């Protein structure tokens, strides 16, 4: 696995108990047979963008799509579902929640991967971020304390 793949695996392992905690606190426990990542894509993509920016110093952003605007993630039966993922400035896609749609739990691929159809505009993403960033930033602080990412306090300096 690539270094980015290894990092993505570490981030997924870090997130799984936090997803379950979030689901427990909101009373939205997963049904039997569903992924613990279900419904966590916006929070997770935002966290991954922050974490990877801290780890490698590059620019990472949240991307996504909605079937009504021709985008999202293509499920194995080729139907599109609303979804968020993370994209680097040079077009690398990192998705830690694709298993909720029948894909592997960790996908690191290029932006030309036909499973990912970006249709949210920058303005739509900006409107969504205030809903997910507080939790993503809380997770980043925990990841920093755990030594998974560089100190967020150093990044602000």
Q: pLDDT per residue over 31-62, tens digit each?
A: 666 788 999 999 999 999 999 999 988 999 99
What strand order describes the sheet that includes 116-117? 80-81, 72-74, 116-117
Q: In this structure, are residues 101 and 83 in contact, taking their beta carbons and an 8 Å threshold?
A: yes
pLDDT bucket at 125, cuts 50 / 70 / 90: very high
Of 61, 120, 70, nearest to 92 by C-alpha is 61
Which tokens hold the place of 135? 């939790």
Q: Is the pLDDT of residue 119 over 60?
A: yes
Of 38, 2, 51, nearest to 149 by C-alpha is 51
């Amino acid at each position: 696995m690539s270094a980015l793949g290894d990092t993505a695996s570490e981030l997924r392992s870090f997130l799984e108990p936090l997803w379950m905690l979030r689901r427990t606190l909101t009373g939205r426990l997963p049904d039997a047979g569903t992924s613990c990542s279900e419904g966590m894509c916006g929070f997770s993509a935002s966290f991954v963008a922050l974490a990877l920016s801290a780890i490698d110093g590059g620019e990472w952003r949240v991307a996504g799509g909605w079937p009504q605007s021709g985008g999202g993630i293509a499920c194995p039966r080729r139907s599109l579902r609303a979804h968020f993922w993370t994209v680097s400035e040079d077009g690398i896609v990192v998705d830690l929640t694709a298993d909720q749609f029948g894909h592997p739990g960790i996908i690191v691929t290029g932006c030309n991967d036909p499973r990912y159809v970006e249709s949210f505009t920058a303005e739509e993403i900006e409107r969504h971020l205030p809903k997910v960033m507080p939790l993503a930033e809380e997770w980043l602080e925990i990841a920093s304390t755990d030594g998974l990412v560089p100190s967020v306090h150093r990044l602000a300096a």
